[in-house]
Amino acid sequence: NYAATPEWLVTGELLGRAGGRARYRRYVQSHVTRGMDPTEYTGFSEMVALGSREFLDRARSLVKAVSPEQPDRAFVFRRVPFGNIVSVVEQIKGEAFADFRDRHGDWGLAMVLYQARWQSGLTLARIGELAGGMTYKTVFAQVKRMDKKLMKDAALREIAEQCRIDMSNVET
């Protein structure tokens, strides 16, 4: 809304198809926030950069020293490698990934996929490849199921939080 809408862009038609401005905004916001509470993204633009490893490395070189006025810059570009995520879940479970990866009903694989989705910056397809050749659709389904389980299961939520804490202590 900082500039006039170009004549060729028919926003009324697009917004009408989407169910109105408010519904469209919620739809876009759900993709940006990945279903999380938007208030958790205050200052989001100062905290992360999204892109390929090469882009992140280049952007990291442009970030100046962290100052008291910009404390969030300490978290710029934090991405946890997939192997580190697997190691953290293995340590919490007390088993090797290869032992629980294919076990039906085990929460270990879903936890690895869930954490990789939110902590690694990898695409669903790449996560699937690294997890043993899963399709991106399968990874997406597992992540969504884990999301639902975490809402209902406090013990599993604690495990997910412990994974997140342990990953923050792993060198990336």
Which pLDDT value is given to residue 145? 92
Place of tokens 């280049």: 58
22 touches 30 (CB < 8 A):
no
Q: Which residue has the tokens 């629980």?
A: 100
Residue 10 CA to residue 75 CA, distance in Å, equals 39
Low-confidence ranges of the chain (pLDDT < 50): 41-47, 68-77, 172
What's the pLDDT tens digit per position in 102-124? 888 889 999 999 999 888 878 88
Q: What tens digit of pLDDT does each residue of 134-160 get?
A: 998 999 999 999 989 988 989 999 999
Q: How many CA atoms lie within 13 A of 30 on its CB side?
A: 6
What is the pTM assigned to this prediction? Answer: 0.56
Q: Tell me which DSSP letter residue 6 carries.
A: P
